[in-house]
Structures are given as C-alpha cells and as structure tokens.
Structure 1
Amino acid sequence: MNSPDPAPPLPDRRDSVGYLTNWAARLLAKAMDDRLGPLGLASGYLPVFFALAGGAEMTQRDLAKLAAIEQPTMAATLARMERDGLVTRRPSPHDGRSALVALSAQAMQRVPDVVAAVADINGRALAGLSANEAAALRNALRTVIGNLEPGADTDPA
C-alpha cells in the first residue's frame, strides 16, 4: 500500500503577507485602544469619528459603506458611541425611515486630541522607516487592498 505524499512544508509565517498584516493590524488596534481609551474612544470608532469630525451628518447606511462593514455591525458601533455620548441622531428630513448621525459637541471637543493620538501611534508604527519607506509602505498597502477588494476605496477612513 502506498503511503500518501507528505504535506508540503508550511511557509514561514514571518514571510506571509497575511500573517504580517494581521499581526501589525492587531498591534496597531491595541496601541490605538490604549491611547484612545482615556479619551473615551476605541479604535473601532475611528472610521465614524473621522467621517463626522468635520461637522458632517451621515446615515448609518452611508457610514457602514464608508467603513466597509455590515449594517448590523455599524448599528452596534453607533449604539455604543451614542451610549458613550459621542454621537447624536436626528430624523432625516429626506427619508423618514433613516436618521442622520453626527458627532456630539462633547466628541467635537476631542477631535484635536484624537488626531494627535492617532498621529502619535502612526508615528510609532513607522519609527525607523525613512519618509520614502513609509510612503512606499502606504502605497503597497493600498495596492494590496485594491488587489483583494476591487472597486473599494483604497484610502479608508
């Protein structure tokens, strides 16, 4: 009886783009959460926070699309943000079935601190890279995103 062919050797995870980007994303999210926690935010709030930081109002549906997440996930995020006093909702004057979401006055006051915190964490993440290397990394990540999600916005919030 023939024995099955041996399985091919496993790739070294340190050479796997998937492993490395996942690991980096988890570390970035943890660092962001640690830094944003004292400001009353979590990293998962950032797509909504920055989409609304300029004073815009958006529907839950539009926010979900912008953040590239499902509507139920966005609904839960907005519920937590509303509970935490970060967003307000008002009925849409154009569609009685939807609400417009905006940052609360309390959240708007935190915008400069949140921008500074995010810049600090991004700076830590890119420490040791030249400006050209950092730009090349951002461009490479945009390409990876474009390769995996055709038609998606390659500059996520």
Structure 2
Amino acid sequence: MDSGAYLASQLAKGFARSLQQRAARLGFSPGQFPILLELWAEDGLTQKQLLARVDIEQATMANTLSRMERDGLIERRPHPSDKRAQLIFLTEKSRRMEKDAVEAAQQADLALFDGFKTFERELTLEYIRRLLENAKKL
C-alpha cells in the first residue's frame, strides 16, 4: 500500500512489537515508555502536565498510570497546593530501570534501521520529522 499514514501506522506497530519484547524483561510496556521518559526528565508531574507532554487521550493516560502504579513503577502523592491534583513520582524500581529501558528503546530503533547506511537513517528521520510537523497542522 502507498498510503503514508498506513505505512506510518505499520511502522509504529513494528517498533512497539520490537520494544515490547525488550521491555517485558524489564517490567514495563511500550505504552508506558513515553510517561517514564517524561518522569525521568522531571519527576513529580501532575497528570495534566503529563497529558500536555505525551500525546495520548485522558482516559488512556488515567488507565496507564493506574497500571503503572499497580506494577510499582509510580506512586501518587497529594499536590501541596491543589487538593484536586496529585503528583506522580517514580519509584525506586523505575528509577533503576532507566538506563536499561532507554537502551532497549535504542536497540528497538536500531533494529528498524538494520541494513541502512548512516545517511539513509538520518535522511529517513528528517523526513519523519517533517511529516510529523505537517501532521500537527491537520
């Protein structure tokens, strides 16, 4: 099929499968990875802040955070000044897995580019960035 959107969807699924195999050994899922990345960069965010940084629906975020809490990856604490909000913090377990999780994602990414020359990979990434910018305008 020659549809860019269809091919991008298939590519995302392929990456998720590749990451899933690596992530399962570490104790997280591909859907949790963007949230972990944000919390590794800045721990103690609210759900609203995470929503602004990770492009997923509110209900999906709530369900993912619940699973992450159940699995011991995050803990929620009361917000000091907003009684309706909670702050989301990494647990020691998820802090310890950062290096291995990032490495697993890098390995999954490299697997997608198997057989590509360096310039082909860089050019492909540039094209994808441009496509994503166009998608934001839609």
* Interval containing the TM-score (normalised by the shorter chain): over 0.9
- The CA deviation at 1:55 is 5.0
Greater Rg, structure 1 or structure 2? 1
Partners of 2:50 and 2:106 lie apart in 1 by 22
Structure 2: gaps spanning 5 or more residues:
none
Query: Structure 1 segments of 4 or more deviating over 6 A?
Result: none
- Per-residue deviation, residues 108-143 of structure 1 (Å, max 9, x unmatched): 011111011111111111112222221211111111
> Hey, what does 1:3 align to over in structure 2?
none
> Hey, what does 2:121 align to over in structure 1?
134
> Hey, what does 1:60 align to over in structure 2?
47
- The CA deviation at 1:68 is 1.1
Higher relative contact order (CA 8 A, sep 6+): 2
User: Between the two proteins, what is the percent identity of the paired residues?
Assistant: 33
Structure 1: gaps spanning 5 or more residues:
1-12, 152-157
TM-score (norm 1): 0.83
> Hey, what does 1:147 align to over in structure 2?
134
Residues 39 and 114 of structure 1 are in contact (CA less than 8 Å); yes or no, is this contact kept in structure 2?
A: yes
Give the aligned CA root-mean-square deviation in angstroms: 1.4
- The CA deviation at 1:43 is 0.3
TM-score (norm 2): 0.93
> Which of the pair is proportionally richer in helix?
2
